[in-house]
Structure 1
Amino acid sequence: MKDKEILAKIESGEEHALDYLYKKYYRMMTKLVISNNGSEQEAKDIYQDALIVFWQKAASGKLVLTSKISTYLYSICLNLWRKELDRKSRLSNEEKDDVEFIDNDKKERMRIINECIDQLGDTCKRILTYYYFDQMSMQEIANNLNFANTDTAKTKKYKCKKRLDQLIKTKYSASDFLD
């Protein structure tokens, strides 16, 4: 079919003209998206959207083609894909901003906790550091600090943790730690 025939069939509502266009230009249009960092599914979606745009303009009778249908479809696909890439880029940048915010937030929380741990005294500082940062077992902590047994280490850890919690609560509000 020639372009004028296709347009006439679309204007008269013959949907097989759309099937014809889909099959005829499928490879060319999907290749455009795939070769520009798109997946096959994204390529199909873009091409289908482009065909809908073309169909709506052609069916309205207001479409005046100054080029071949393939060129017109190609430009629609290209524009739709550029918009999709822009959207993805914005989303990616927003995610990066969120990650940066979370990292800064974590650093600030760690700074607050470390500052309070430093105020606890050497034994508590060592117990909490061994347990939470170095992931040592209670047995290892008891051995390193020359405690009588693991129960002594557990009791001391509990008391140190409680003191740390109280210190943090008196110095900082809950909003410093909650989102």
Structure 2
Amino acid sequence: MKDHEVLERVSRGDEEALDYLYKKHYKMMTRIVLNNNGSEDEAKDVFQDALLVFWQKAVSGKLVLTSKISTYIYSICLNLWRKELDRKSRHSSEEVEQSIYQDYEKNERIKIITDCINQLGDTCRRILTYHYFDGLSMTDIADKLNFANTDTAKTKKYKCKKKLDLMVKRNYSSQDVLD
């Protein structure tokens, strides 16, 4: 089929002409996306969107071709893929910024908690460090600190945790720790 025949048939709503365009130009059009960091699915979506744009313009009567249909569809694919890459780029940089900010906040909270733990007595510092940072069980902590039993270690940990909570609340605002 020649371009003027395809355009005429598409403008009348002939889906077979659209199928013809799809089969004839699929590989060439999807190569745009595949050669520019896109996946097969993204390529297929871009090409289908481009054909939809072509179809809508042709059916509305607003399409005036000054080039081959393939060139026109190619330019639509190119523009759609550029928009998608811009969207991905913005989204990606926002995620990186958010991740950096979250890491900073997490490090600040850890610093606050660590500073307060270091201000506690040696026993409390060791119990809380062993439990929260080293992941030791209460049995291991009781053995390590020569407590009579695990219940003693649990009671001490509870009291130390209360002291830590009070110290943090007294020295820092809730936004410093909770945000």
TM-score grouping bracket, smaller chain normalisation: over 0.9
* 1:68 match: 68
Q: What's the offset of the Cα at 1:9? A: 1.5
Question: Equivalent residues in 2 for 1:35-46 (5 A)?
Answer: 35-46=35-46
Q: What's the offset of the Cα at 1:71? A: 1.4
Task: Give deviations 1:144-178, integer Å, cap 9, x for gaps.
Answer: 22222222211111110111011111122323233
* 1:27 match: 27
SS in 1 for 2:178: coil
Q: What's the offset of the Cα at 1:28? A: 1.4
Q: Does residue 173 of the first structure (1) align with residue 173 of the second (2)?
A: yes
Q: Does residue 100 of the first structure (1) align with residue 89 of the second (2)?
A: no
In 1: Cα distance, 2:10 partner to 2:153 partner = 82
Give the counterpart letter for 1:87 in structure 2. R
In 1: Cα distance, 2:139 partner to 2:57 partner = 76
Structure 1-normalised TM-score?
Answer: 0.92
Q: What's the offset of the Cα at 1:79? A: 1.0
SS in 2 for 1:177: helix
Q: What's the offset of the Cα at 1:102? A: 0.7
Alignment gaps of 5+ in structure 1: none
Give the counterpart letter for 1:103 in structure 2. D
2:112–2:177 contact (8 Å) kept in structure 1: no
Task: Give deviations 1:17-60, integer Å, cap 9, x for gaps.
Answer: 11211121112112221222212211111011101111222233
Q: What's the offset of the Cα at 1:143? A: 2.2
Question: Equivalent residues in 2 for 1:97-176 (5 A)?
Answer: 97-176=97-176
CA RMSD in angstroms comes to: 1.5
Q: What's the offset of the Cα at 1:72? A: 1.3
Give the counterpart letter for 1:169 in structure 2. K
> After the TM superposition, which parts of structure 1 deviate over 3 Å for at least 4 consecutive aligned residues?
none
In 1: Cα distance, 2:83 partner to 2:159 partner = 58
Query: Sequence identity of aligned pairs in percent?
Result: 69
Alignment gaps of 5+ in structure 2: none
SS in 1 for 2:44: helix
